[in-house]
Amino acid sequence: MALLDIRGITRVYGGRTPFGLEPPFTALDNVSFSVSAGSIHGLVGESGSGKSTLARIVMALDRPTTGDIFLEGQSLFSLPARVLKRRRRDFQMVFQDPLASLDPRYTVARIVAEPLHVLEQKPRSDEVRQKVVDSLGQVGLSADALDRFPHEFSGGQRQRIAFARALITRPKLVVADEPVSALDLSVQAQVLNLIMDMREKFGTAFLFISHDLAVVEAIADQVTVMRHGRIVETGTVEDVFDRPQQAYTRELLAAQLPLK
Amino acid sequence: MTSAPLLRVDDLAVSLRLADGRLLPILSDISFAIGRGETLGIVGESGSGKTILSLAVIGLLPESAVVSGQILFDGKPLTGLDDKSLCRIRGSRIGMIFQEPTAALNPAMTIADQVAEGIVLHRGNSWREARRQAIELLDRVRIDQAVRRADDYPHELSGGQRQRVGIAIALALEPELLIADEPTTALDATVQREVLGILTEFVREKDMALMLVSHNLGVVAHMASRMLVLYAGTRMEEGETADVLGDPRNPYTRGLLAALPGRTGRGRRMASIRGTVPSLAHLPPGCRFAGRCPDEIPLCSQDEPGWRAFGAARGVRCLRALTTESV
Amino acid sequence: MSGAGPATRGAAGFRLRRHGPLATGLTLILLLAGVALVSLVWTPFPPSKMQIMHKLKPPFEVGLLGTDQYGRDVLSMLMAGAWNSLSIALFAVALGAGIGVVIGLAAAAWRGVLETVTMRGCDVIFAVPPILSAMMLGAFIGPGRWTAIFAIATFMVPVFTRITVGAARQVWTRDFILAARAAGKGALLISWQHVLPNIVGPIIVQVTIQLGLAILTEAGLSFLGLGLPPPAPSWGRMLAESQTFLRVAPWLAILPGLAVALSVLGFNLIGDGLRDRLDPRQRGHA
């Protein structure tokens, strides 16, 4: 059984609303694929492909029009709200813009500790502090970051803080939506290494969403290609990059700018 | 370059005056030249000062900026020009494309009008004639069904289309020099190819000089014949693109190249540059890359190394680059 | 920043432009508050004490600022009036902001029908000028301190609701809100923990501006006889009563008018100064 099973997800916006009829827009159309435990699964697509919409649905932050998400065989959207909240400890998210994903008014300690809210037994404050320090340590940040604010850090460091937050409940799955797109080249490498370290150390699976094929090729095991809300192709990195089956995939690969 | 370069920047230094009166240095010791028909790629990450450099060349620095050094355009100095003369040059002889296509367009004007505006202003054509030229241009930048879409507003277009409109606006007056600040960063790979293709066409046809600022080495490699590497406000390396990428002399350049995804193979850890870019307010003593450089020696933290030219049109700022000579 | 002439270039000029309005505004308002508080324990003369033999004396003869037609000391009346104006304004704005912000947060969090009803409700209230609602309230509960407060507050609620909804909606689109939802937090908790702290800036600016408006409105109400009834001293009523004596005792009109103007100016300057400080901070340098 796969860790994450995305089945027949369709998301349509608009249609009939309390204020009248709006033209319907299909962001996702019958999307299905699976992510295995401990794997890094790349999801590539251009703007408008629906990858961010899918990310939100996988995170149960948005309801699909039809279809369901199964985490370790359990249907997320059939769960009562309380149970879903507890389950959130197993899946967390990292966003594209490190500055926007951290509340500028919160200290790093409060930011990183936030997901602990889903735990049944809320840990004591000294335990919380220790967990935060540990999580920051995992991502290469020292404890003196605790009482500082996001704006005091660089883009790469903020993204590490975001990862520390995502990893504090030791989730089985992290959905990373363009986690390195806003970062400089040198910092990008650091964060990608971090992802690979987390997978090795804790067996965390990553759904790695990106429009940058070179990055996906560098760290992913499996790849799914999306376009206009539909899946174009799925397979291992070797399959998709070396032996692309679909014309669109070939088009994407051809559009890359090689060096030298 | 056999003839005098179109754009020459000499010892440019830019500082910003802060709210409390202090001076914050942003750029220092920047010199380069671009000839007609030539594309210079300026590579810089965040905190390198590349945007300030673009603004300095086009004369759009904020009021709080203090500039020293010279910017010569077609032999005549741009620094110190009054606003009126600058306005005449800006737009018609020097054009600029910005990074964020949405922010650079006026949401309350149709795209044809925005392209035509410059033509009316600088050439004195009638609006009707200008609009006709505008539609031709929109077609040129591959906005399909340009005639129909001429009266669309920016929000009705996709990101890629907006950037192409931005290019049309910049190219409407056939500038001699075009400054492109991260022109394709916000675009998908397929659109990026097209947009860069359009720029290349114009460079070739109109003998236009192109100053292409980007953090993307692939874009620079694809477009620029020569490149300049910026770091923390100063230049680190310069030369023909093939030379710099094939035989980088500055450890920062080498670090950038090594950090490219794909260099180490699938699923392998990537080489990264340790540490972070220093804040311009707190530069380390000596070389700005000290503390992050894998090749540094104690001397590196004492005095900032000077710029050394070598070979054919190459230059580097690094104590160790030319002493450990690699043939 | 605009309007930089040769006198205001350079380091010192920068500081002047940046802190000038705020400092001036704060000075004016601190003066106002100081005078108002002092008036609670001391005024040169009791404000309502009539000394008919000293009526209509110009400034510096009897009282520092002269006397009115009943011989009451103008300075004392201004001081007591300051307390009345300020306290009514503070209450009204506190009430209006308190209710308005809560409604605004709810509308931004739950959107849909609640938001639509809220916004249209604001439109309805905006259609009725505060003077009119004061008159209507006055008909029900009689003129007085609380009529003024409620009338002014009624107008404040939609102002703050609108500001809050606008600012809150922007905050709701940001990724850290999504992160909070991924951490299992509900709309109520998020509104309180994340949205409100991030919109205090514009709200505080609005509070200062509305305080100035409240003082102006209160003066207007008193001028029309709808505010505090006599003998409570009030700037507005002083203005009203001074009309008949404009020729012989112009200071009776000028002084309370000046008091109102300076108070409103003070609050506006603070509001402007605060607004400037809050915005560029976020945008930073080029």
Report mean pLDDT in 10-residue bins for chain B, 327 residues.
Answer: 79 91 91 94 90 90 90 87 83 86 86 89 88 89 84 86 88 92 84 88 93 92 95 94 93 93 87 86 90 90 90 88 58
Largest Cα–Cα separation, chain A: 57
Domain shared by B156 and B291, yes or no: no
Which pLDDT tens digit goes with each residue over A32-78? 999 999 999 999 998 889 999 999 999 999 999 999 999 999 999 99
What pLDDT band is residue C16 in, cutting at 50, 70 and 90?
low
More confident residue, C74 or A241: A241
- Distance in angstroms (rounded) separating the CA atoms of residues B150 and B154: 10
Q: What's A15's domain CATH number?
A: 3.40.50.300
Tell me the residue length of chain C: 286
Helices and strands (DSSP H and E) totals, chain B: 11, 12
Range of B249's domain?
A: 234-316
Query: Which sign does the torsion angle of CA B242, B248, B250, B256 carry?
Result: positive
Range of C216's domain?
A: 21-283
User: Which of A116-120, B73-77, C54-58 shows the lowest per-residue confidence on average (mean pLDDT)?
Assistant: C54-58
CA distance A85 to chain C (A): 5
What pLDDT band is residue C227 in, cutting at 50, 70 and 90?
confident
Range of A15's domain?
A: 4-254
Which pLDDT tens digit goes with each residue over A98-108? 889 999 999 99
Domain shared by B202 and B238, yes or no: no
Residue A259 within any structural domain of the chain: no
Tell me the residue length of chain B: 327
What pLDDT band is residue C264 in, cutting at 50, 70 and 90?
very high
Q: How far apart are the first and last CA of chain A?
A: 44
Phi, psi (degrees; rounded to nearest 5) at B240: -65, 140
What pLDDT band is residue A260 in, cutting at 50, 70 and 90?
low
pLDDT at C2: 41
Nearest to B19 among C10, C12, C18 (CB): C18
Residues of chain B by 3-state class (helix, strand, coil), percent to 5: 35, 25, 45
Domain shared by B238 and B220, yes or no: no
Q: What's C175's domain CATH number?
A: 1.10.3720.10
CA distance C284 to chain B (A): 10
pLDDT at C245: 86
Tokens for B114?
């925005």
CB pairs under 8 A between A and C: 55
Tokens for B155?
């929000």
Contact residues, chain B, for A189 at CB < 8 Å? 259, 261, 270-273
Number of domains present in the structure of chain C = 1
Using an 8 Å CB-CB cutoff, list residues of chain A that contact chain C: 18-19, 56, 59, 61, 85-86, 88, 92-93, 95-97, 100-105, 114-118, 162, 165
Residue C251 within any structural domain of the chain: yes
What pLDDT band is residue C17 in, cutting at 50, 70 and 90?
low
Q: Does the pLDDT at position A232 exceed 60?
A: yes
Spatial CA neighbour of A30 closest among A246, A249, A226:
A226
CA distance B189 to chain C (A): 25
pLDDT at B46: 84
Residues of chain C by 3-state class (helix, strand, coil), percent to 5: 75, 0, 20
Number of domains present in the structure of chain B = 2
Instruction: Answer for the pair A28, A51: CB distance below 8 angstroms, yes or no.
Output: no
Contact residues, chain A, for C113 at CB < 8 Å? 18
Residues 6+ positions from B190 with CB-CB distance below 8 Å: A46, A251, A252, A255
pLDDT at A76: 94
C180 touches A: beta carbon within 8 Å: yes
**Final residue of a domain: which of B192, B224, B256?**
B224
Domain shared by B161 and B276, yes or no: no
Nearest CA in chain C to B55: C286
List chains touching A (3+ CB pairs under 8 A).
B, C
Instruction: Name the DSSP letter for residue B305.
Output: P
* B248, amino acid identity: P
Q: Do A101 and C175 touch (CB under 8 A)?
A: yes
Q: Do C286 and B63 touch (CB under 8 A)?
A: no
